[in-house]
Amino acid sequence: MLLKEVGLQLYSLHEYTEKDFCGTVEKVAQMGYKGVEFAGYGGLKPEQVVKLLKDNGLTAYGSHIGGLPKTDAELDAEIEMNLAVGSKYLICPWQDMETRDDALRFAEVMNRTADRLRPHGLRLGYHNHDFEFKVDQGEILLDTVLQNVAEDVFVEFDVFWVAYAGHDPLRFIKKYAGRQPLMHLKELAADRKANVEIGAGILDFDAIIRTGMDAGVERFIIEQEEYTLPQLESCERSLKNLLLV
């Protein structure tokens, strides 16, 4: 068993959290997850989220904060929440880009946002999908972003999307060693077209986790976006299978 602690990106159960945020977080803890990564807070105030985590023995691994740029009020609210729950990682989960110029403009937004977070001891990151691996002017767009942001701006590699885009996750994990405190573990089906439960696909999670550890990953986070089982059962199955690695 390589991992003793695994978190869940709560977007995996967004249909449940939208109806019963607190009850769903409780179920996540009962599955055996030790942490959560937020994608919204269920309308709760910071002190309520702190209590929810404490009552369920969970750690806040980070927060997906939506697209950038944020208004001052939106960013202040995220800063307040993450300081309260003890999370130092805020992640932009998506940014459309088609050209190198798009990537450069986004890097500027990331740098400005990171400047706002840094005095509070918070770090900004970016979570990839597949489209950031498009090549323009001889560069992969994700490389353009990461090579034009401050060194403390990190990447949260989603290994499913790296492989889905036709690349080797291990190569990118090694390339950006030291700049990826968080990693998304998500399984790729044999047809290379779908997200399935961990253990039902083709990714070598033993190698991914070992390489991630060597590269400085602090927290490994499961995310499910597609399901071959009922959603709660799907997230539990992925965790159980991962802990067998």
* CATH at residue 232: 3.20.20.150
Model pTM score: 0.97
Q: What is the pLDDT of residue 61?
A: 98
Is residue 98, in this structure, part of any structural domain at all? Answer: yes
The total number of structural domains that make up the chain: 1
Q: Where are the alpha helices (DSSP H) in 86-175?
A: 100-117, 141-146, 159-164, 169-175
In a domain, 158, yes or no: yes
pLDDT of residue 205: 98
pLDDT at 245: 86
Examine residue 2 and state whether it is found in any structural domain, yes or no: no
| Domain-embedded: residue 195 | yes
Residue 1 domain flag = no
Residue 216 Ramachandran class (φ > 0 left, ψ -120 to 50 alpha, else beta): left
Q: Is residue 87 part of a domain?
A: yes
Domain of residue 179, residue span: 7-242
Q: Is residue 148 part of a domain?
A: yes
Nearest to 187 by CA among 142, 155, 119, 234: 234
Distance CA 100, CA 98 (A): 7
pLDDT tens for the 245 residues of the chain, in order = 789 899 999 999 999 999 999 999 999 999 999 999 999 999 999 999 999 999 999 999 999 999 999 999 999 999 999 999 999 999 999 999 999 999 999 999 999 999 999 999 999 999 999 999 999 999 999 999 999 999 999 999 999 999 999 999 999 999 999 999 999 999 999 999 999 999 999 999 999 999 999 999 999 999 999 999 999 999 999 999 999 98
Pairing verdict, β 182-185 and 154-158 = parallel
Does residue 34 belong to any structural domain of this protein? Answer: yes
